[in-house]
Amino acid sequence: MQLDVMPIDIIGIRRAWRNVRRVIGKADIVLEVVDARDPLGTRSSKLENLVKRYNKPLIIVINKADLVPRDVLEKWKYHFEKEYPTIYIGAKNRLGTTFLWKVIKKVAPQDKRVVRVAVTGFPNVGKSTIINVLKGRHSASTSPKAGHTKHVQEFRAAQWLKVIDTPGIIPIEEDEEALALRFALNSEQLSDPIGAAIRLIRIGLNLDPTVFRKTYGIEHRDPEKILEELAKKRGFLLKGGKLNIEEAARVLLRDWLTGKLVFYYPPPSS
Provide the minimum distance between the beta carbon of 148 and Mg ion in the complex, in angstroms, as a whole number.
5
The separation between CA 113 and the C-alpha centre of its own chain, rounded to angstroms, equals: 32
Report the partner that residue 267 touches, choosing among ligand GTP, Mg ion, none (CB closer than 5 to 8 A by kind).
Answer: none
Report the partner that residue 206 touches, choosing among Mg ion, ligand GTP, none (CB closer than 5 to 8 A by kind).
Answer: none
Which residues does residue 90 pair with via DSSP β-bridges, in sequence order?
A: 95
Provide the minimum distance between the beta carbon of 132 and ligand GTP in the complex, in angstroms, as a whole number.
8
Provide the minimum distance between the beta carbon of 233 and ligand GTP in the complex, in angstroms, as a whole number.
24
Question: Cβ closer to ligand GTP: 134 or 227?
Answer: 134
**60 to 73, 81, 118, 162: CA distances (angstroms):** 12, 8, 12, 18
Angle between helices 127-135 and 97-107 (to 10 degrees): 80
Q: Got the DSSP string for 121-143?
A: ESTTSSHHHHHHHHHTS--S---
Write out the residues near Mg ion by the rule CB under 5 A: 127-128, 149
Write out the residues near ligand GTP by the rule CB under 6 A: 63-64, 66-67, 90-92, 123-129, 142-144, 146-149, 167-168, 259
Q: How far apart (Å, rounded) are the C-alpha atoms in residues 126 and 23?
A: 18
Report the partner that residue 129 touches, choosing among Mg ion, ligand GTP, none (CB closer than 5 to 8 A by kind).
Answer: ligand GTP
Provide the minimum distance between the beta carbon of 241 and Mg ion in the complex, in angstroms, as a whole number.
41
